[in-house]
Amino acid sequence: MQFNLSYSEVGKLIEDKTGKELPMTYGGPHTLRISYKVPLMGDVGLDINVDRIEGSDIFLSYGGGAGIEFMVRTALGQVKKQPGAELLDILDGNRLMLALGKSQQLAPIFDRIILKDIHFDESSIKIDFIPKP
């Protein structure tokens, strides 16, 4: 089974929650490119790669150049101080893990499905899963 979210749908959700516009584009089968306008710097880009999935844990890596990666690491350090941060594990280098099964809202979903893959095409995010037997 597959669940599809268009980049515009996800962008609208992010903008509604944060007030920030984060344009997303296809960067490869497992890579999502996110852009952001930074004052005095212009547009900066960040590539987020889905490296692997283990159960309800999603392992990601990111890249965008040394300056961007430093800003992301700094931002992630601040995120870890926020409520809900138990879902995020910052690993070595530019890698992190989202432990979605730790979420009270998502745990019941992972009790019923097996997440197989998250990949991208020119217009959407595709989440492949199968029901648990």
Q: What is the pLDDT of residue 42?
A: 76
Q: What is the pLDDT of residue 71?
A: 79
Nearest to 56 by CA among 114, 104, 3, 5: 114
pTM for the model stands at 0.87
| Lookup result for tokens 């941060």 | 85
Q: What is the pLDDT of residue 109?
A: 94
Q: Report mean pLDDT in 10-residue bins for the chain, 133 residues.
A: 95 90 94 86 87 97 82 83 86 92 93 96 97 92
Q: What is the pLDDT of residue 38?
A: 75
Please name the amino acid found at residue 43.
D
Contact 44, 64 (CB under 8 A): yes
Distance from C-alpha of 41 to C-alpha of 79, rounded to nearest angstrom: 23
Q: What is the pLDDT of residue 18?
A: 86
Q: What is the pLDDT of residue 79?
A: 83
The tokens for 42 are 């212009």
